[in-house]
Homo-oligomer: A and B are copies of this chain.
């Protein structure tokens, strides 16, 4: 059963059609798993084969097309009628001679929709170069319209039901971060600490379970903190080093990322403590400054002016829109909190603001996931903002 009401799905679809009309798209082929979920409720680990949701200008419900063995998954999780669930046969899977996109192109032609303008998500992770070529071949077209990020921009403002999911993700995130800080100690292997974090992420709370976050736990220490996307090793954590914790809680594919820094063993170096104090002060005052009507770059400016006064600068963006997602990323690839971003904040937009400050040989990071409210910003998790010290 879908996790949201039919009314909510129809609203999402109406908003999508409206954006499609603006771009002259009659049929949008949605291959981003998060967008497929957003428009139908479909949720399964099946995105390793081509699959799509078709949004069609003159039809109420979208059409799910996927591998035949996954059609039952669509029946279990999507709100759409049986007629709108289409499975392609097994002989389209992983061969040179045919491709699932041939099936989809043929389906569109058989439905008599070959005259409609068709848009695709050109830069969605699982919409490959070959997918694009095979679809064009079957449709007999050289070009398709660009519907990239169209649904992502529709879903940037969350419904109250989505916000409720993200609040649950926030409660899980609190447990997850507490588990990490509790489990890490000098001598503990990185893999064992990460294992405890995974356990907390998936077990969730006593009231509700957790889902797999779209990014694995990142808990680097020592010199590896300068290589932000390396995963864990078997090495033990070492006293006298800091560890960066980039984690998340996830509930029904909705995320609450959270980052903190902990120092293992004794008193942290003064320069690290200073950086932590400045960063947390900046996080607090930037969150406090947020109001609907500000733009992404307005928010970033608050932070930048704060750290400039302290003699620091930060090159990369300080946050991005996030919510519903699948691996390999929980970011939505739409609005960012960075110079040049003119997105106007409205209530129920949701962001991850992450302040990572990297010096030559040390660093500190602290983040909050929040929603924009009528009057300001409200975080999904409640967790001390400070440099944690692990004895």
Residues of A within 8 A of B (CB): 43-48, 69-70, 72-73, 75-77, 90, 94, 99, 120, 122-133, 148, 189-192, 194-196, 198-204, 208-212, 215-216, 218, 224, 226-234, 315-316, 327-329, 331, 333, 336
Chain B, residue nearest A194 (CB): B202
Q: Which residues of B contact A203 (CB under 8 A)?
A: 191-192, 195
- The residue that A208 contacts in the complex, of B75, B133, B198, B234, with Cβ under 8 A, is B234
Bound CA–CA A224/B191 (angstroms): 32
Contact A125–B209 (Cβ < 8 Å): no
Q: How close is A296's CB to chain B, nearest CB, in angstroms? A: 13
Bound CA–CA A304/B44 (angstroms): 30
Contact A230–B77 (Cβ < 8 Å): yes
Contact B90–A227 (Cβ < 8 Å): no
Q: Which residues of B contact A201 (CB under 8 A)?
A: 195, 198
Query: Given A124-B128, A128-B127, A209-B234, A227 and B76 touching (CB < 8 A)?
Result: yes
Q: Copies per complex?
A: 2
Bound CA–CA A126/B128 (angstroms): 7
Query: Given A192-B203, A212-B216, A229 and B44 touching (CB < 8 A)?
Result: yes
Chain B, residue nearest A233 (CB): B209
Chain B, residue nearest A75 (CB): B227
Q: Which residues of B contact A199 (CB under 8 A)?
A: 195-196, 198-199
The 8 A-B pairs at the shortest CB distance, nearest first, are namely A191-B209, A129-B132, A195-B203, A123-B130, A195-B202, A72-B227, A48-B328, A73-B227
Q: Kindly list 15 other residue pairs between chains A and B, CB separation below 8 angstroms, not including A48-B329, A129-B131.
A: A44-B230, A44-B231, A46-B229, A72-B226, A76-B227, A77-B230, A123-B128, A189-B209, A191-B204, A194-B202, A195-B210, A199-B199, A208-B234, A212-B231, A327-B327
Q: How close is A89's CB to chain B, nearest CB, in angstroms? A: 10
Query: Given A209-B189, A228-B69, A45 and B215 touching (CB < 8 A)?
Result: yes
Bound CA–CA A331/B94 (angstroms): 10
Q: Which residues of B contact A191 (CB under 8 A)?
A: 202-204, 209-210
Contact B132–A123 (Cβ < 8 Å): no
Bound CA–CA A208/B122 (angstroms): 41
Contact B230–A43 (Cβ < 8 Å): yes
